[in-house]
Structure 1
């Protein structure tokens, strides 16, 4: 009888609301009720079946309470009846394919992470973890589907790798790092979080879904084809499984031992074998994967396998004998790394040096199964070499060879990018600062030029200093200190102060939450103390001097010591000038100084480079540059002598390249320098290759759907560049950047800044000059130059945005969708290598590489919303009941229409996130979308008909939710992620809901149609309730009450109730009052 009473009570709607409040606000009490019901179910007796049938009904009622999702009645909302006639096969195929397209944020994020110009302050692991949880919720997917989408996106990323294109950018190793290290670590984080929330059985279930997601990859045999550089590694992974099977068959007790009897065992491997090994290394799956059907495919007539040098090292062989082999062979286990690390800590000086070089070799770049451990050891070793007392100059000099090896090892393009993907930019910056401070304060031992390949005071300082500067945008022009028209600072977030603040906050969080010892961020305990720029006076002085020189010319600052050093440098430079002459760094005499012979009585050896500390040289460089550039502009110094002097300065102290780039980048923004003729005599001429370069740039743009003319000058006009750009590009041609890629990280970005800051169309000229110098970088240069039209041409940006939607969704024909087979992610971002032409760039790829250069993110956002509205209207036309009768039989069901809305929204949202990040999403919520809804006019929202208005409102709601969720996440996030992305979510969402409430109260007059507005509000609130109830918890109670009141006036009481239910404990009273 009691069970029957409880069953009837829980079937009541009001009682279910109260129970749901208990479930949402005090889950521990609800869990107690569930356990009691499970116990009663386990004790069922056949003799009392009627009573226990009530128990089943009671259990169902309780599960209905737990089902908190609000199901928006979409068919009623759109006023469209779902067709009862069957869909055509083409429509069904489109619908089935559409679900996979909603995972496009994975592909876009991974491709964006491969842009080596953009270093990230947070790890790709954390970002991908949050994005996975977000897309799993928004796509209503299982973890198996989510993991499968991750693997497929990463496999596509690897297949898009540009092995054939050479250049200073992250190559295939970084793409494989994403597939074989970042994704397994992200999945491991998700599995651990599920283990913390749920019981072990559920953890086993999620691991089972992971196994299924890997097993199903065999269907994608094209994506599993290994790139040529990884065929050997894939075969080794397959051989490992074959050895296990061989040993089992032969009765070997140690089935994992690669004995001599099994050394002839060979197998054919592919990317699946590498993925399995990566997951086994992180304990995500076990070696039972070796027994999957078809996993091991024997290979006959294969060359004999060679023993790994790492095995010899572990067995006791000499490190010095194996050094060369270990540098080019990645370690396969943590035990091998620990053996090497012991040499780095306690070996002889030669062994320490060799271990440092080995650690930064193939194991760092290609040891994907253990890469997080390699990264940890590299940084831990670097922090160990840093004495706690920053004044211990002698100890720094004593460890100079090891420091030089480590810093050189982490300075390559791929190494810097890998550290960025692991989110270690702040930590690396904090380690490089004391090195710069100490070695920049020491004088060199002789007058000779610096050799990067040898350990010296100048080489260690230059390598550390240039590496530090690459981690933050030190050469950004003054315009980035300004405010946009919406009051948003456009200064890059990767400033030195920001990096230190982020690094210190991370250290505090680790101490607070007692991070596990397995974290890759665990370094030497002495390094956990906060780091401030004030602790490094020399670095701080240069930092503020650099900012001052960017803001105004060096002549505004009177620095006697710097002027004295500058005059010494100018004497050396002028001594090598064929005319002979002396320039002065004195502002009053810079233009009037005589260009005579060296002073009488001055000996030749006085024109040797001074043995000054590097900081003193860097302090003098801006004054030297001002003097020589002014002299060149006034014809008192030839261009050839100018470049020769700059090259000699860079050869003497490579770190001076940073000051040169910073000075020229600032000068080009002032607009005071006249252009110079690139005639081939005074300045290098691009005439021989410029027409070809422009033609190839046009070819790439056309392949991406952008039709513009990049050359505004007549063919007969000689190419020209402003003097600072001409000097910088001429200097870059003389510097061997192809040998030292970290130099390109400074010079290349500096030239890009100069080109983007100047009103002169210069990027194609720069590309032509560079392609003449480094011919093997030709394709890389052309692709980089093809991004230049988007710097200042909004028309080109608009074309690119529309081309992205067309390639992903298909074209629009006469206001209706035109579905074609060639669409989706592959068409958006590009095909695999063997399917792609040399000079072809997919629109999505070009968008990802260019969006950071767009001049006006507001325009980008408005243009994307325009395309979304057009696509929504096209969908409405496709499914409108007014279509001719002979076309209605080919229409898709309403669920397919909603799937198309989700595809449109997912692409629009991720494009917005990449274009402007957190700031643009804030503007979207607070300004851009409200303005669009308030705007009136002929093309206002809701002017295209009733069904179109419904689709418009729905699509905009989806875009808003997807864009916010893609940046902020759908629930609670990690502390590091929240500090950058999620911290302002509460305020932004609350403001937007407050805006909606004010409109519903009549305090704000709309410009759009009423149907569009109602569709937008109902869709957005329904999506909040369905997918992101955590957001509602953060909204003020007053805002929720106003919004719920407005919904009830629209006769949407259920939606209003669902909204209040998710308001947390503060809203319980409001829920009760709404029921009474």
Structure 2
């Protein structure tokens, strides 16, 4: 309390002293200039620092309005000019006192405006220290109430200056509006004015606003408001528009032009303030990424399609059924659309147009695709008719301009008739969609028919999502009536569903029709859901099968609802607090329904659709309690095998367990197949914990009260998981028949191999090492076989699975020592799989681990002991070589004539087992595991095994010949980095043309997406060609060293940039010199072609390694290949274009994975959240080099070109990235750019750094 009183006394004494000296200076001299000098001398002699906030308070208090004299106004002017007082503080105090009283004090108001004209943008000198700065800031804040008005908790000098200028401009605009008779924001201090008497002051205020806004420093401050407080800035723009509408009320005809010109100048200055970087003489070329002739009106040419190639790559990558996505393709595509629209500076019509055309090309490439366990044509149409419209929904909501762009893009699609031709299987659906429109516009005439194409399906999909309305039916040429179409006696799509909705009971015949016919709306699916849960014992499985039929795969207009209903049906309403018995009883009561549902979900198409919608975490979380419950129940005592038509505890558990492992483990090569020091870091292996975390995060966003689900909630699944990991990680040891697990293993061995041709049951865990084994090898003996020892174990599935690895080791060892024949080995394993199908997952996992150990000798595939591939091995090997050659990859034949094919024992056993399964839809749950397992095992072998596996499979499954051969073509890339490099180069060559001047003209016939992916996916035939892009998309996840891809792409883009530099030098006759006019047309053309290569390169990187590979690109590839590479002395143009190319590659890669704006939470958690930990350290690295003015060992000019281009791209296209950087990093970069004479770019960088960098921006204003 005493301290406060002392402070108060001190302040009071200072004020009295200043007032005394102010009076004394008046006695000394009446002239304002001399008086200000005298006052300055007296205050300095008294030890009072200048500028002094107390003096400012006293001067303004005397001026308003007790001593309102011209002499005092002049003294105030001289005091501001000589820095006796802070000009901004004086103006803030005057604004508070003069503006509300401008009616009664028009002279004071005019003098105040004149002071604003001189000092409104007067800033402290750069680097100077202002005494009493805190007091000045507090005085300005108090006078204008800045912190309260704008919600700034702590005011510093930067915030104060920015908000002061903005507040003054807004106050003047408000005063003009009120003088015009329009009260925008009236306060108690404002009064009714005499409009005619103050017209001159109003026009002067408008001129002052014009002068402030056209000031370059003030424009920087206004940009800070537009970036950090967009709502406030938009309010100012609205006020200016109102001024323009009401200014005529106070102006005469002779002055109306002056007012209009002032307003036009203000609008132009505001626009330039936001977009000034585009006018930069050099940087403008970098930011003008809009391709020339981007119009789609007549033709979608090569130049137009290349800038949108990420759409094509995304869609082809989404069709890879073996790779499952944890984030919805809808969210990923939405972010990609936003990114490409920004990068290409395209209109929304052009963006949507490119998206639709990419989708149409994607569908057309599906003609004549191979037969096999891969997503079919329905899945391609799912992307076009479901994923694409749903990705557009969040972009056009409440935005009329974007919605109009969407409508126009759909109308223009009719010009692309070749792409709109429906595939034969979908002609009827297209005609029905066209007929629906024809009936609508003909007043419900049921007899009219119309010819349809894919456009009609697209329009119906958009109408279903409320993107457009039925006015689309009236577009010119949309409905093409036809009398030639056969008249259907009934509507095949509606009749069975109408009967079902009318109350017809579910019968076998009705089920069959409903399964192959998509439902017309969501209402039918909801009724099926109710029946599946509450129907009769016979109806529930039928309803589940119908839900997994065409309504899911072809119900494109409501597919998102279909998948949600399926996942919801998989989890009957249960509380996490329910007891184990309650959970088991609930699941058992739905056992038949769950069995039908799980069997339907096991199909390749269904799993692929679930992956497209990002529901893998939710499905995995729903499968875990099913596995936990049914895996804990014993089978009936008479259980022998799981037949598709029967329902048992083992069958339901197996379907759920195999699907769970398929979602979790077999979606990509195992982690152990990657290089331990490099590739493993760039490839993320899914875990059950990770999937549950994803699921919990999404559920909490929808329902904050929802309880999370953790792995610990499923103790038996968790115990098996860790036990299985231990069996894979190391060889089995410590065998003892006293262990219950080993006793179960003996029971399985006795059950399977009793009565086999080799002998009787195998007892692999005998106490006596002399009587039952040979040198520690489990023996097979027929003696002592009893009925009891051969009984089938009636144990819960978890106990069986726990013992399977020990059974496999015993059987594999016995087979290796000749104690068990190969035929008996295969037959026994098949018996185990028939007994408990879930054991297949353990078998393939165990064999895959054994192959990586390399301890098993190879076996000869002679056709006696093991099946022989000799009949077609050479032809399959030749087909593989020819297909790779068609994609630009040259590899030698794997097996020369005369050599006897061999395979490691585990692979031979696994192949022999897998070819025993039939091509049956009921075996989809098996094929989903087998195919991936064989590829993983073959890729981990020490020599090429895939051709042999492919030859054996083509003998067994001739219908899948092309699919098997095509799958085999991916095997060379798993071990040969040179083959991967050839494939990547082939992709660039097909897309861009030759990468060197000696390889021919760049303007070859077929380039772009058609050359990269082909017009159709594959063609039937013994040696069908495959486009390199298609082969890359389906092979890239098998690459052994993911980092190598980053290096290859990086080098190819650098080579492409140098090739373009050579062309530019040659065409411009520059002879290594940079001409002054090169920075316009030539540089723009070269950069356009650089961006084409970067668009492809970044897209390939993203689908290969995702965020991890982008991190590798930033942290390893870039520093190694650019900064530590050899300098090139060919000329400065090489360095400039190389730097630009690298900047584009890093930036585009970041945009494709992190996005350019705020993304949905699920996308952010998986992708965007990784940006800070990569982008921040990268910019720290760059800033340290720039700040120290170092020159890395790279091409001349490459480093500066990279920095300026990369920073410019971030500032222009991804400003949301900047605020995450620390202020020190930004300051270092800004200082470096200032040294390079890039003050505009340096300021733009600081401006995007958020409110915390306002002071740094104000300090940098001296650079202007």
Scaled by the length of structure 2, the TM-score of the pair is 0.78
Shift of 1:596: 2.9
Match of 2:715 among 537, 542, 552: 537
Question: Contact 1:1060–1:1067 at 8 Å: present in 2 too?
Answer: yes
Q: Which runs of 5+ in 1 are unaligned?
A: 79-86, 196-202, 248-254, 256-261, 513-524
Deviation per residue, 1:783-834 (Å, 9 max, x gap): 1000111111111111111101100001133288621121000100111369
Structure 1 residue 560 corresponds to structure 2 residue 747: no
For 1:689, the equivalent position in structure 2 comes to 872
Q: 1:94 to 1:125 in 2, by over 3 A?
A: closer
Closer, same or farther: CA 656–501 of 1 in aligned 2, 3 Å: same
Task: Report if aligned partners of 1:400, 1:455 keep a CA contact under 8 Å in 2.
Answer: yes
Distance 2:428 2:1259 in 1: 69
Cα distance in 1, alignment partners of residues 225 and 669 from structure 2: 56
**Aligned partner of residue 267 in structure 1, secondary structure:** coil
Q: Aligned equivalents of 2:1046 and 2:871: distance in 1?
A: 40
Residue 387 (structure 1) shift: 6.6
Runs of 4+ in 1 over 6 A off after TM superposition: 75-78, 93-96, 474-478, 834-838, 888-892
For the 8 Å contact 1:808–1:827, the answer to whether it is kept is yes
* Cα displacement string for residues 638-686 of structure 1 (whole angstroms, at most 9, x for unaligned residues): 1111001001111111111011001100000000000000000100100
Instruction: Give yes or no for contact 1:678–1:684 (8 Å, CA) kept in 2.
Output: yes
| Partner SS state of residue 928, structure 2 | helix
Q: Give the Å deviation of 1:189.
A: 1.8
Deviation at 1:873, TM superposition (A): 1.0
Structure 2 matches for 1:60-99, cutoff 5 A? 60-67=268-275, 69-71=277-279, 73-74=281-282, 97-99=302-304
Matches within 5 A, 1:438-517: 438-445=629-636, 446-473=638-665, 480=672, 484-485=676-677, 489=681, 492-512=684-704
Indicate conservation of the 8 Å contact 1:575/1:598, yes or no.
no
Q: Structure 1 residues 810 and 344 mapped into 2: Cα distance closer, same or farther (>3 Å)?
A: same
Select 1:549's aligned residue among 722, 727, 742. Answer: 727
Work out the CA distance in 2 between the residues paired with 1:479 and 1:291: 56
TM-score, scaled to structure 1? 0.91
Aligned partner of 2:1029 in structure 1 is: 844
Structure 2 Cα separation of the partners of residues 436 and 800 of structure 1: 42
Q: Does 1:733 align with 2:915?
A: yes
Change (3 A) 1:210 1:730: same
| d(CA) in 1 for partners of 2:1018, 2:258 | 67
Q: Distance in 1 between matches of 2:1070 and 2:229?
A: 55
Contact persistence 1:816–1:878 (CA under 8 A): no
Match of 1:310 among 491, 497, 505: 497
* Counterpart Cα distance in 1 of 2:828 and 2:733: 21
Distance 1:277 1:77 in 2: 42
Q: Quote the residue 2:1187 is aligned against.
A: 1001
> In structure 2, how many angstroms separate the alpha carbons of the residues matched to 1:914 and 1:491?
11
Change (3 A) 1:386 1:944: farther
Q: Deviation string for 1:198-243 (max 9, x for gaps)? A: xxxxx22211110111111112111111111111111111111111
**Cα RMSD between the aligned structures?**
2.7
Matched, 1:569 2:756: no
More off after superposition, 584-593 vs 950-959 = 584-593
**Residue 482 (structure 1) shift:** 8.0
Question: What does residue 519 of structure 2 align with?
Answer: 331
Cα distance per residue 1:752-811 (max 9 Å; x no partner): 111111112101110000000000000001110001111111111111111011000011
**What is the aligned partner in structure 2 of residue 56 from structure 1?**
264
Match runs of 1:178-257 below 5 Å:
178-192=383-397, 195=398, 203-247=399-443, 255=444
CA distance in 1, matches of 2:978, 2:673: 26
Distance 1:162 1:853, change over 3 A: farther
Question: How far 1:894 sits from its partner (Å)?
Answer: 3.6
Paired residue for 2:934?
Answer: 751
**Secondary structure class of the residue paired with 1:676:** strand
Answering whether residue 599 of structure 2 is matched by residue 391 of structure 1, we say no
Aligned residues: 1022
Higher deviation after alignment, 363-372 or 499-508: 499-508
1:831 to 1:474, Cα distance in 2 relative to 1, 3 A = closer
| Worse-superposed segment, 3-12 or 717-726 | 3-12
Q: How far apart are residue 411 of structure 1 and its match?
A: 1.2
Closer, same or farther: CA 910–625 of 1 in aligned 2, 3 Å: same
Distance 2:228 2:470 in 1: 43
Match of 1:519 in 2: none
Q: 1:382 Cα deviation (Å)?
A: 2.0
The higher relative CO (CA closer than 8 Å, separation ≥ 6) is in: 1
Distance in 2, matches of 1:807 and 1:1051, equals: 40
Quick one: distance in 1 between partners of 2:365 and 2:631?
A: 42
Deviates more, 1:29-38 or 1:422-431: 29-38
Q: Deviation per CA, 1:1032-1075: give whole Å up to 9, x if none.
A: 11111100000110111111111111111111111111111111
Q: Structure 1 960/379 Cα, relative in aligned 2: closer, same or farther at 3 Å?
A: same
Contact 2:1017/2:1030 (<8 A) preserved: no
| Alpha-carbon separation, structure 2, partners of 1:925 and 1:594 | 57
Q: Which among 350, 358, 365 is matched to residue 145 of structure 1? A: 350
Q: Which residue pairs with 2:1234 in the alignment?
A: 1048
Where does 1:897-976 land on structure 2 (aligned, <5 Å)?
A: 897-937=1086-1126, 940=1127, 942-976=1128-1162
Q: Which one is further off, 25-34 or 999-1008? A: 999-1008
CA–CA distance in 2 between the matches of 1:1052 and 1:152? 40
Of the three residues 410, 420, 430, the one matched with 2:611 is 420
Residue 903 of structure 2 aligns to a residue whose secondary structure is: strand
Pick from 38, 42, 45 the counterpart of residue 245 of structure 2.
42
Residue 944 of structure 1 deviates from its aligned partner by 2.8
Give yes or no for contact 1:440–1:615 (8 Å, CA) kept in 2.
yes
Contact kept, 8 Å, 1:949 with 1:1009, in 2: the verdict is yes
Cα distance per residue 1:687-715 (max 9 Å; x no partner): 1111110111111101101111141x431
Distance in 2 (alpha carbons) for counterparts of 1:778 and 1:678: 20
Mapped contact 1:481–1:491 kept (Cα < 8 A): no
Q: Is the 8 A contact 1:706 1:799 kept in 2?
A: yes
Contact 2:599 2:925 in 1 (8 A): no
What is the distance in 2 between the residues matched to 1:922 and 1:818? 32
Alignment CA distance shift 1:281-1:475 (3 Å): closer
Q: Quick one: structure 1 residues 489 and 776, their matched pair in 2 at CA, closer, same or farther if it must change by over 3 Å?
A: same
Q: 1:766: which partner in 2? A: 949
Structure label with greater radius of gyration: 2
Q: How far 1:484 sits from its partner (Å)? A: 4.3
Decide which of 1246, 1249, 1252 is 1:1060's aligned counterpart. Answer: 1246
Is the alpha carbon distance of 1:21 and 1:563 closer, same or farther for their aligned partners in structure 2, counting shifts above 3 Å? same
8 Å CA contact retained: 2:970, 2:1035: yes
**1:475-509 deviation per Cα after TM superposition (whole angstroms, max 9, x unaligned):** 98885398743596356332111111111121222
Q: Distance in 2 between matches of 1:550 and 1:606?
A: 29
Does 342-351 or 473-482 show the bigger shift? 473-482
After superposition, the Cα gap between the structure-2 partners of 1:477 and 1:324, relative to the gap in structure 1 and judged at 3 Å, is: closer
2:460 paired with 1:277: yes
**d(CA) in 1 for partners of 2:1137, 2:1157:** 28
Q: Structure 1 residues 106, 565: CA separation in 2 closer, same or farther (over 3 Å shift)? A: same
Structure 1 position 606, deviation (Å): 5.7
Measured after TM superposition, the shift of residue 576 of structure 1 is 3.2
The within-5 A match list for 1:660-699 is: 660-699=843-882
Larger CA deviation: 822-831 vs 346-355: 346-355
8 Å Cα contact 1:873/1:951 also seen in 2? yes
The residue that corresponds to 1:29 in the other structure is: 232
Deviation at 1:456, TM superposition (A): 1.3
Q: Using the TM superposition, name which of 337-346 and 2-11 deviates more.
A: 337-346
